Amino acid sequence: MPAPLQALDLTALDGFLAAVLLQPRRLPPSRWLPLVTDEEGRPLPAAWPPRARLQALVQQRFEELNALIEARQWFDPWITDVDEDTLPLEAVQPWVLGFATACGEFPALTEGPGSQEPELIEALAQLYQHLDPADLEDADALLEEIDSLEPPASMEEAVESLVRGCLLLADVSRPVRVKSTRPGVPRRR
């Protein structure tokens, strides 16, 4: 990134995109894309040569995640900088921080109507269990749910909790519409 911009790292970017996708209402790229390339949302210089390619790659990952989440299919979160000494919680924490960054910028998912629903809290606990509980102030129900979870013992379990949390969130924020047996009457699943 050209100075003074500070972009999300690859792992945080993936979590950020997942949270943007899970918002109850679709956000236009013009609202979230500047935050990908700068934590303060400053725009990339129009004349910066890799600008178009970078934005196209980010949009490509966004659409890939969207298709998988929409179909409620497994996806592989981008987790980088892992070696045999990295603890599972440490490895996935940047992904969850990217997710939390998007939720802080776009709070409709976590602070909107229904934010205290058990299904939402259960899903968020799958993700936020990877953060320091001190960072989750005023979230008693969420902390209680996190306390009920067994911490992941392996990278596979940690990654599984990220995907499970996202797919559970999708069921809450983007329920699948099931075709009705009567024409013109949509049903929610």
Closest CA to 22 of 134, 112, 149, 157: 112
pLDDT at 178 (0 to 100): 64
The answer to whether the beta carbons of residues 124 and 38 sit under 8 Å apart is no
SS3 178: strand
Asked if the model's pLDDT at residue 183 lies above 60, the reply is no
pLDDT single digits (tens) 108-160: 998 877 777 899 999 999 999 999 888 887 788 899 999 999 999 999 999 99
Asked if the peptide bond before residue 4 counts as cis, ω within 30 degrees of 0, the response is yes
pLDDT at 48 (0 to 100): 81
Query: What's the half-sphere exposure (Cβ side, CA atoms, 13 Å) at 150?
Result: 5
Q: Which CATH architecture has domain 10-175?
A: Up-down Bundle (1.20)
Asked if the model's pLDDT at residue 172 lies above 60, the reply is yes
pLDDT single digits (tens) 15-73: 999 999 999 999 999 999 999 999 999 888 888 888 889 999 999 999 999 999 999 99
The pair of three-digit structure tokens given for residue 122, joined into one six-digit string: 């259960």
- What value does the mean pLDDT take over residues 87-92? 87
* pLDDT band at residue 4 using 50, 70 and 90 as cut-offs: confident
Asked if the model's pLDDT at residue 90 lies above 90, the reply is no
> What residue spans define the domains of the chain?
10-175
CA distance to 21, 33, 56, 60, 161, per residue, from 36 (Å): 14, 5, 12, 14, 24
The answer to whether the beta carbons of residues 16 and 101 sit under 8 Å apart is yes
pTM: 0.89
